């Protein structure tokens, strides 16, 4: 019974958080707005990539998780949090349901301080956290058949429900490791 009450409380908190994300914004972003019109997170040390989605500009950030000495926390290499632009740019951690069912990341060590990452909501796309030749960590993804450093994911949503949003497409944006050019690909979920 205690477990059921805890889950109901978590669900209520999530729904309140979710419904609050639909509130009016000071600077509205049209649901059909171009993803490039959304704000870009700034001054976040170790920002790996971020996710934005309809219906507003609130952003989920994925940051390299390091200790006080700047060393990677191997048991939890990625820290995920919101930038709530609709609440004045406030930073907030994801709640339990958001981490476990929507925006969380599962990871598996692959050796040499590298990891395979999978989104809890869309596990078909493998991402790879590893160091580059300058010993800096990045998240790599295959975008339009090119190895890229992932910078942004945009999810176009058109209605649906909290548990089952109608996702029209997922847009990946990154930098081609071979050419340095920006690469963008839209994926229609099946």
Q: Can you tell me the distance from the alpha carbon of 25 to that of 46, in angstroms, rounded to the nearest whole number?
A: 28
pLDDT digits (tens, 9 = 90+) for 59-112: 999 999 999 999 999 999 999 999 999 999 999 999 999 999 999 999 999 999
Element of type H or E holding 148: strand 146-160
The answer to whether 139 touches 149, Cβ cutoff 8 Å, is yes
pLDDT digits (tens, 9 = 90+) for 11-64: 333 333 443 443 333 344 455 678 999 999 999 999 999 999 988 899 999 999
The CA-based angle 36-87-157, given to 5 degrees, is 45
**What is the residue extent of each domain of the chain?**
36-187
Cis preceding linkage at 132, omega within 30: no
Q: Which candidate, 167, 175, 156, 143, places its Cα nearest to that of 48?
A: 175
């Amino acid at each position: 019974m205690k477990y059921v009450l805890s889950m109901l409380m978590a669900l209520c908190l999530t729904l309140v958080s979710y419904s609050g994300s639909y509130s009016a914004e000071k600077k509205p972003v049209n649901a059909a707005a171009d993803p490039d019109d959304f704000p870009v997170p700034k001054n976040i040390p170790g920002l790996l990539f971020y996710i934005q989605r309809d219906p507003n500009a609130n952003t989920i950030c994925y940051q390299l998780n390091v200790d006080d000495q700047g060393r990677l926390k191997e048991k939890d290499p990625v820290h995920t949090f919101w930038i709530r632009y609709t609440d004045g740019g406030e930073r907030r951690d994801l709640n339990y349901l958001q981490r476990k069912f929507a925006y969380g990341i599962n990871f598996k060590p692959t050796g040499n301080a590298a990891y395979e990452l999978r989104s809890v909501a869309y596990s078909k796309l493998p991402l790879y956290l590893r160091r580059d030749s300058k010993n800096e960590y990045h998240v790599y993804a295959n975008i339009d058949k090119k190895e890229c450093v992932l910078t942004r994911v945009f999810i176009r949503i058109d209605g649906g429900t909290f548990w089952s949003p109608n996702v029209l497409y997922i847009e990946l944006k990154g930098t081609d490791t071979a050419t340095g050019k920006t690469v963008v690909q839209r994926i229609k979920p099946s």
